[in-house]
Amino acid sequence: MSSDPSFRYSRFLGGPDPLAPPYDPRAALDAIGEDVLAGASPSAALRELLRRGLGDRAGLDELSRRVHERRRELRSRYRLDGTLRQVDELLRQALADERDALAAERSDDARFREMQLDALPGDTAGAVRELAEYDWRSAEGAAAYAEIQRLLGRELLDQRFAGIRDAMRQVTDADVARVADMLADLNALLAAHARSEPDIDRRFAEFMDAHGEFFPERPGSIDELIESLAQRSAQASRLLNSLTEQQRAELAELSQQAFGDPRIGAALSQLDAQLQALRPDLDWSGGAEFDGDQPLGLGQASRAMGELADLDSLAEQLAQAYPGAQLSDLDLEALERTLGPRSVADARRLAELEQALRADGLFERAADGSLRLSPRALRRLGETALRDVARQLSARGGQRDTRLAGAAGEPTGASREWRFGDTEPWDVPRTLGNAVLRRAADPSDDAPFALADVAITETEARSRAAVALCVDTSWSMVAEGRWVPMKRTALALHQLVRTRFRTDALELITFGRLAQTVSAEELVGLDGAYEQGTNLHHALLLAGRHLRKHPDAQPVLLVVTDGEPTARLTPDGEGLFDYPPDPETLRVTVAELDHLARLGAAVTVFMLGEDPSLRAFVDLVARRTGGRVVSPDPDGLGAAVVSDYLRSRRRS
C-alpha cells in the first residue's frame, strides 16, 4: 500500500456505488422497442421504462415505493404529543416534590398550600397556568416547573427557527429578553415588508446584524427569510391540525407559559399570522394521522410534518402524471433529506438516461407534436432484431452461416478472421498487417505467417431478389401473442436487406380486412385492433404488383399468417368478410397464388398455430406453387423467415 500522504483510504459505508456503470442507452432502446412493437406509443414506452428501471437499476416505481414506505414508517413509528407528555410528566414530578415538602411542615400555611394544589384544574394546561404565581416550598418542584416553561419556550422556538433549540438549553432572563426583542423586531420587519416600505433592504440588514445568531442559515434577503420562516410556520400549523381538539387547546394555553413570559407566545402567534398572510399559497390547513408509540417534541414533530410534505411532493413528482412532467422536476435535495444519497443517485441516473435517449436522436416530434421513434432508433431496433435472429440461426447445429456468399460473391468492403470452411478470397493487406503486428508484439515469434493472421474478404451474393413479406394483422395475431414476434421478424428482414443485400427490393404488406403496403416505421407503430378478416387475396395482389415492378430480380413471396383466408377484395375496392370462408374467397386467393407461381416466385407460408382449416389451405398452396410450409413457434418466427429468405437467394 502506498505511503503517500496525499492518498487516504476509508471504509465504504454504503450509498450509491461510485463505480456503477451508467445505464446502457442501447439496452434502454431495446426495452422501449418491445413496448412500441406491442402497440405502445414511444412516449408511453419511455415513461414505462423510466417507471420500471432497467435491469437491476431502480426506476420511478421503486423510488415511489421507497417514498411510500418512508411515509408509512413515519406515521406508524411516531406520535405528535411528545411535548404535552413531557409537560404532564414534569408537572406530576413538580407536584409530587411539592406535596412531599409540604407534608414535612406542620403549619397552617402548609395545609393551605396543600388545599391550593388540590384545587388545581384537572387539565395540564390549566394547572400550569394556575401555578405561574405559586410560591414553591420545594426547590426540586420549583426546578421542575421552571423546566416546563423552558421546555415550552425551546420547543415553540424550535418549530420556527433552525438550530435554536440546543443553543437555549440553559436559558437566563437575559436570553428570554433577547428572544422577545428579536420576535418584536421580526414582526415589525415583516409588517414593514407587507406595507412595501422603500427602505426594507436596509431594515433587513440591520435586523440580521442585530439578531443573526438566531438564523444560522444566514438568509441573503428578506424574501429568503420569509420563505424559510413560512415553511416552518406552515409545518407547525399542520402539526396543530393533526392534534385532537383538546390537545390543540392545551398547547395554545401552554404556549403562554413559554419561558414564563407571555410576550413570547403572543409574538409567535403574531408571527404565524403575518407569515400566513405573506405566503397563503403554502399548505396551512393540512394534517396527518400518526399512530406510533415514539413521542416527538414540537420541533421534531414539525420537522416530521415537513418530511411528510416533502414525501407527498416527491410522490407527485415521481408519478410524472402532470402535463409537461420531466425527471428534471425532481427535488433532489428533498429526495436526499428523506431517502438518502442512494435514491438521489438512482434518480440522477434515470434523468441522465432520459436525457441521453433524447439527446441521442432516438426520438423526434411528429407533425402532430407527438413523440415518435427516429429513423436512427428504428435502425437500432432492426439491428437488435437481426442480431437475435442471427443468434438463433448460429445455434442450429451443423449449419454454416447462411449470410455468407463464398468466393463467387460480391465483396462488401469489409474483412474478418478466417474460419474453417471459408472459401472467400484472402484480404492480403490485412493478412500481412496482422503478421507484422504479431511479430512486433512478440519478437521471439519468428513464424512469417500464422493461421490467426489470415483475414478474408467478406462477400455477398450477386443475385438480386424482389421480396414481398405479407404479414397477417388480424385480431387473432394480437390475441394469441404473435403480434410482437411478427413485427420483430419484419424489422429483422428489413434490416438485413437494407444493410447486407441493398440491391434487393423488399415490400412489407399487412393484411387484415384489407391489405396495405407499409414502411418499417409504420409497421412498428401499428396498433393491434379488433378487426375480422384475413384478406390474403388483397395482399397477394399487392405482392404481385411489387414483384412485377422488378422483372430482373428473383421473386420471393413470404406469407406469415395464423388463419385461412376469410376475406377478399371486391371489384369496388371493399373488403368482403365471410366465415366460414366463402368458396369464392378461396378461389380468388388460390388464383392469385397461381399467377405468382407462373412468375417463378419462391413461395413460403409460415403457419402459426395448428388450425386444421389453415393446415389444409397451406398444404394446397404448397402443392400448387411448389412452395414450402414452415410451422415455427412465435419465438422462432424471425429465424425461420430470415433463413428462408437466404435460402431463396442461394437457390437463385
Q: Which residues fall within 8 angstroms of residue 35, CB to CB, at 6 or more apart?
A: 44, 45, 48, 49
Q: What pLDDT does 164 receive?
A: 66
Q: What pLDDT does 407 receive?
A: 40
What are the residue ranges of helices labelled H in 283-425?
298-319, 332-339, 341-359, 375-394
Q: Which residues fall within 8 angstroms of residue 221, CB to CB, at 6 or more apart?
A: 201, 204
Q: What pLDDT does 546 receive?
A: 94
pTM over 0.85: no
Q: Which residues fall within 8 angstroms of residue 433, CB to CB, at 6 or more apart?
A: none
Grid cell 413531557 in the structure block, residue: 86
C-alpha cell belonging to residue 277: 398572510
Residue 459 β-bridge partners: 411
Phi, psi values for residue 426, rounded to 5°:
-70, 145
C-alpha cell belonging to residue 273: 399570522
Q: What pLDDT does 15 receive?
A: 46
Q: What pLDDT does 436 receive?
A: 81
Q: How many CA atoms lie within 13 A of 45 on its CB side?
A: 24
In order along the chain (652 residues), what is the average pLDDT of each group of 10 residues? 53 49 66 68 73 78 90 91 91 92 89 90 89 91 90 85 64 83 93 92 92 86 92 90 88 85 88 93 89 88 88 85 74 87 84 72 64 69 71 54 42 70 75 82 80 76 79 84 82 82 88 89 74 87 93 89 87 83 88 90 86 86 85 82 78 57
Q: Which residues fall within 8 angstroms of residue 105, CB to CB, at 6 or more apart?
A: 137
Q: What pLDDT does 465 receive?
A: 86
Q: What pLDDT does 50 receive?
A: 78
